[in-house]
Amino acid sequence: MNIIKLYFLWGVGMVINVADLKLHPRTSQEFRLQENFSDELLAHLNGHFLEPVKVTIKFENTGRILVGQGMVHTVINLICSRCLKDIAHQVNTPINVVAASPDEDHTEAEEYLLELRDNGDVDLSSSVEEAILFSLPLNPLCKDDCLGLCSGCGVDLNTRKCRCEQQEIDPRWQKLNELK
């Protein structure tokens, strides 16, 4: 039978302690963490965090390893790739990790592996960062049918009509072009 204990760990970073869970095979523990992340993580996207990062994760002692499954939530300001408007992008993305001591055999779970330190601490930061970055769109859009900016005059085509096209077919310009 599973014993589920709930831990609220707000403002102490992304480090949890599973020493107790490690002692009790076939049990699980749920952790809730909250942390302000540095905008540096999003610098290459010109993004920044609008909310702290919240993580809810349940760790299960399978008898051999500790398997963690949960969700990462935050809100990130991104720039629309077409019209350059700010977007409040909701992140709700799964996180899957395995915590094991460096000396244990864990080859099958390598890509999710986090180090379980001797004192029972596991730092989730890198996995949380990865989960966030992986969830972000390559080309963020403010809306699916965003019309973007006119490449000619730069107006936002969502809100204004541009006159580039009309000018192109303006007969006076046409004459001028013929004189060249």
Q: Is 142 in the site for Zn ion (CB under 5 A)?
A: yes
Instruction: Establish if 164 lies at the interface with Zn ion (CB under 5 A).
Output: yes
Residue in 16, 76, 80, 97 binding Zn ion, rule: CB under 5 A: 80
Residue 92 in tokens: 């709700």
Total residue count of the chain as it appears in this document? 180
- Which residue stretch of 54-62, 73-81, 115-123, 128-136 sits at the interface with Zn ion (rule: CB under 5 A)? 73-81
- Residue 82 Cβ, how far from Zn ion at the closest point, in Å? 5
Q: How far is C-alpha 113 from the chain's CA centre?
A: 19
**Angstrom distance (rounded) from CA 35 to CA 90:** 16
Q: Does 94 bind Zn ion (CB under 5 A)?
A: no
Stretch that binds Zn ion, among 28-36, 81-89, 108-116, 172-180 (CB under 5 A): 81-89
Choice between 56 and 81, CB closer to Zn ion? 81
Nearest to 108 by CA among 64, 69, 63: 64
Q: Do residues 121 and 17 make contact, with C-beta atoms less than 8 angstroms apart? A: yes
Among 53, 83, 114, 128, binds Zn ion (CB under 5 A): 83
Q: Closest Cα partner for 91 from 145, 144, 37, 147?
A: 37
Interface residue with Zn ion, options 82, 112, 127, 149 (CB under 5 A)? 82
Q: Tell me the closest approach of the beta carbon of residue 144 to Zn ion, in angstroms.
A: 10
**31 burial via Cβ count (<10 Å: 0-12, 13-18, 19+):** buried
Q: Applying CB under 5 A, does 150 fall inside the site for Zn ion?
A: yes
Q: Which is nearer to Zn ion, 71 or 150 (CB)?
A: 150
Counting Cα atoms < 13 Å in the Cβ hemisphere of 108 gives 3
Q: Which residues bind Zn ion (CB under 5 A)?
A: 80, 82-83, 142, 146, 150, 152-153, 162, 164
